[in-house]
Amino acid sequence: MPKDWGVSGDRLRLQLQLQFRPDQLYEREDFLAGMGGSKICHVVANDAIFGPSMTESAKHIRFYNGGWRVGRGEGPMGTDLLRFYVELEERVGRTDVYCPVGRVYCTCGYFDVGNRGHSRKTDIQRRLDNLIDRYNGLQDDMNGEGALSFRRIKLFRELVQTQSDIDRANKIMEDMKVLEPDLSLLRLSRRKDIGLTREGGVCCKVQKGLSGFYEYHILGRFEAVAVEHGNERVE
């Protein structure tokens, strides 16, 4: 966004309910990488609540349906991303912060936790625990040896190797936390089969000069939670 956008520190808070429907989206959108696999993102009642501020009360803003798609392997370390967009009917703003009319684009992490299968993270944690136990045991054995003991030298070499193995296991574990995040760190669907990262990015598309080209400008972040709407499940 422009350099003077959001200098005041003010915020726009919008709350809306979405349904990620299985119906095919017959409209091309570059953000979703074409129509293949793209489906309808339904805005419940076409309505959003523009949150109150110190000087203004809450009001309703109209949104229109958009689309969504799961980007396989597009996230960090080959994880999946949920990409979706909705369309804003009118410009929404407060002081120097605003969201332009048009499509609002969002992304967040997407995890099919219902089909996660065997957890590699559990295996790595078990190996890490065993290595730590071995390291502590080697230290105890070294402390029981004399300063000039040949066995102490052998134990020290094993200790160095074990520390190296622990470092490698810790690195793998950090990677696995990205690939298999704890369920407590995700927002789960009502059926507990899909998990989204708690926060995601929000942006809009802005034309760059008179060139006809567009670029994405960051608007902020969103937070997701599963809710119920009548007899339908809304996420």
What distance in Å separates the CA atoms of residue 58 and residue 101, rounded to the nearest whole number?
A: 19
Q: Which of 140, 63, 155 is nearest to 104 (CA)?
A: 63
What is the total count of domains within the chain?
2
Per-position b or e across 46-70, b if 16+ CB within 10 A of its CB: bebebeeeeeeeeeebebebbbbbb
The band of 10, judged by pLDDT with boundaries at 50, 70 and 90, is confident
Shared domain check, 76 and 46: yes
Shared domain check, 90 and 48: yes
What confidence tens digit (pLDDT) does each residue in 132-184 have? 999 999 999 998 887 778 889 999 999 999 999 999 999 999 999 999 999 99
Residue 220 lies in a domain: yes
What distance in Å separates the CA atoms of residue 146 and residue 230, rounded to the nearest whole number?
A: 75
Beta strand residue intervals within the chain, DSSP E: 14-24, 39-50, 59-71, 80-88, 92-94, 97-99, 102-111, 186-188, 195-197, 199-207, 214-223, 227-229, 232-234
Q: Which of 103, 121, 128 is nearest to 27 (CA)?
A: 103
Shared domain check, 21 and 52: yes
pLDDT for residue 204 is more than 50: yes
The band of 5, judged by pLDDT with boundaries at 50, 70 and 90, is confident
What distance in Å separates the CA atoms of residue 103 and residue 31, rounded to the nearest whole number?
A: 10
Shared domain check, 157 and 111: no
Residue 2 lies in a domain: no
In this structure, the chain runs to a length of 235
Pairing of strands 195-197, 199-207: unpaired
Residue 1 lies in a domain: no
Shared domain check, 131 and 110: no
Whole domain around residue 212: which residue ranges? 14-116+182-234
Residue 20 lies in a domain: yes
Residue 18 lies in a domain: yes
Shared domain check, 226 and 188: yes
Shared domain check, 189 and 101: yes
Q: How much is the pTM?
A: 0.83
